[in-house]
Amino acid sequence: MTEKTVVPFQGTPEQEAQLKEVIAKHHDQPGGLMPTLQEAQGIYGYLPIEVQRMIADGLGMSLSEVYGVATFYSQFSLTPKGKHKISVCLGTACYVKGSDKILEAVEAKLGIKSGECTADGKFSIDSCRCVGACGLAPVMLVDEDVYGKLTPEQVGKILDKYDD
């Protein structure tokens, strides 16, 4: 079993002030938790437990309620995203053409697993089900750049271009 890479929470006083404004705006609104979580993720880029606690306290609800909603909806992330976001398509066409090997090559190159972020915050990896580029299978996205017809051997050279 490998140990999961954990990036420590590094919120700023400015972000906390923004979050407090968001909480105050939605405090008395029925269903205010969803917009609060959406705006909080916009402020921080993800929803770490520290932010979830502030939201729970500010909205007068339990942490488990906040966590339950944050983990139920796929639009929310509990882990930080890197400066460069990598997504490897594991949809049928890509998978049949070896995208699982592409994902393994990305994980090996960066030393993290899908759903994690490198300790320096440069890269995060996620998998997805389809990017709509089946004719280019297997496909990997780095930020907005699409790479198709990949082999595992090409992954390192591609990622080196983003190591700024």
Q: What does the pLDDT look like over 46-83, one tens digit per residue? A: 999 999 999 999 999 999 999 999 999 978 988 888 99
Alpha-carbon distance of 121 to 137, in angstroms, equals 28
Enumerate residues 6+ apart whose C-beta is below 8 A from 64: none
Give pLDDT tens digits along the chain (164 positions).
Answer: 344 546 678 889 999 999 999 999 999 999 999 999 999 999 998 999 999 999 999 999 999 999 999 999 978 988 888 999 999 999 999 999 999 999 999 999 999 999 889 988 899 999 998 989 999 999 999 999 999 999 999 999 999 999 77
Provide the token pair at 61. 């609800």
Provide the token pair at 6. 């954990």
pTM of the model: 0.72
Q: Are 48 and 12 in contact (CB under 8 A)?
A: no
